[in-house]
Amino acid sequence: MTNEQCTTLKVLDNVPFGQIAGEHLFFALRLERPTWKSWQPGQFVMVRPSGWALDMLWARPFSICRVSNRDLVLFFQAVGRGTRRMASLKSGDEVLVWGPLGNSFEMEPDTPTLLLAGGIGIAPFVGYVHTHPRPWNLHMEFGHRMPLNCYPYESINEKIMGDAHHEQKPEDLAAFIDCMDKRIEEFAGQNGLVLACGPTPFLRTVQQLSQKHNARCQLSLETRMACGVGACLGCVTKVSDDMQVNGVAAGRAQVCNHGPVFWAHQVNLSED
């Protein structure tokens, strides 16, 4: 049975970005264009290279970076078993892809919107910035540990105003948080929108700051996923009571199909 939501796509190329100690950790993976009718920034796909045998069962989730009429671009960091193997994908190799999955970031063209990215959390914002009809309303603060050329920052910076913060020592992190504090206050004052994606400790900080300034804020969460479609219940996050009325029982919602994007006040990141 062929189904356009689950297809085998050929790798066009897998381009390494930046270099750390002679090794590449970051890759732009370009795949053939899938036949989806539409997608939205913030959504993701599950990727499982066809060459993976049964020793590694799960596909891996990646944000959709860009879709053009020629290709689908994903941007990934080689952190573990799966992504390190993905680093050796070559043009002509085949990968199984299902999606687009999950919900997407709010897009209010006329609202001043602050994009907060931590590390590889920058990936979904490439698509956001490039599909936004009024990019002059967007501003980004980007915190990163690896050199800037490891990330697809250029492609964002050529479209919108942004600042990059290289964290090399503990004071740098404090300065970055301080900057986010001021920016969130500023955007909250204009009834703006704050969108964040990055590791959980970073999201926790953004959540606290947005609560402090009463900002309208969305967070894109990351968890381990097995199915990506809401079936295994392996990817849940604690949600507040007002989510339960949306058919989510018992205070935990699957990140893959109720998210990955949640309003900051709806999730409880303090545990789990």
Ligand X SMILES: Cc1cc2nc3c(=O)[nH]c(=O)nc-3n(C[C@H](O)[C@H](O)[C@H](O)COP(=O)(O)OP(=O)(O)OC[C@H]3O[C@@H](n4cnc5c(N)ncnc54)[C@H](O)[C@@H]3O)c2cc1C
Residues that bind ligand X (CB under 6 A): 44, 60-63, 75-77, 79-83, 120, 123, 222-225, 260
Judged by beta carbon distances under 5 to 8 A according to partner kind, the member of other proteins, ligand X, ligand FES, none in contact with residue 19 is none
The minimum distance between CB 37 and ligand FES, in angstroms, equals: 23
Q: Which of 199, 208, 144 is nearest to 172 (CA)?
A: 144
The interface with other proteins within residues 141-180 (CB under 8 A) comprises: none
Separation CA 204–CA 272 (nearest Å): 12
Q: Using CA atoms, how far apart are residues 197 and 42, in angstroms rounded to an integer? A: 9
Give dist(CA 116, CA 32) in Å, integer: 29
Of the listed pieces 110-118, 127-135, 158-166, 233-241, which binds ligand FES according to CB under 6 A? 233-241
Q: Which listed residue (257, 263, 265, 268) binds other proteins by CB under 8 A?
A: 257
Q: Supply the DSSP string of 124-161, one letter for each residue.
A: HHHHHHHH-S-GGGEEEEEEESS-GGGSTHHHHHTTSE
The pair of structure tokens assigned to 222 is 């990351």
Residue 63 binding: pick among other proteins, ligand FES, ligand X, none (C-beta 5-8 Å cut-off by kind): ligand X
- Tell me which of 20, 79, 161, 231 binds other proteins, using CB under 8 A: 231
Phi-psi region of 160 (alpha: psi -120 to 50; beta: other; left: phi over 0): beta
252 CB neighbour count, 10 Å cutoff: 18
Q: Does 236 bind other proteins (CB under 8 A)?
A: yes
| Interacting residue with ligand FES among 107, 148, 164, 226 (CB under 6 A) | 226
Q: At 17, list the tokens.
A: 């970005």
| Residue 154 C-beta-side C-alpha neighbours within 13 Å | 6
Measured from the CB atom, is 80 or 247 closer to ligand X? 80
Write the burial class of residue 237 (CB in 10 Å: 0-12 exposed, 13-18 middle, 19+ buried).
Answer: buried
Asked if 62 is part of the footprint of other proteins (rule: CB under 8 A), the reply reads: no
Q: Does 235 bind ligand FES (CB under 6 A)?
A: yes
Q: How far is the CB of 68 from ligand X (least distance, A)?
A: 17
Q: Which is nearer to ligand FES, 6 or 148 (CB)?
A: 6
The region of 14-22, 23-31, 47-55, 178-186 touching other proteins under the rule CB under 8 A is 47-55
Query: For 248, which DSSP code?
Result: -
Distance CA 196, CA 48 (A): 26
Residue in the shown chain whose Cβ atom is closest to ligand X = 80
CA 158/CA 128 separation, integer angstroms: 13
Sole binder of ligand FES in the list 16, 112, 230, 251 (CB under 6 A): 230
Query: Which one among 98, 105, 151, 153 touches other proteins, defined by CB under 8 A?
Result: 98
Residues contributing to the site for other proteins (CB under 8 A): 1, 3, 5-6, 48, 54-59, 81, 96, 98, 223-224, 226-237, 247, 249-252, 257, 271-272
Residues contributing to the site for ligand FES (CB under 6 A): 225-228, 230-235, 254, 256
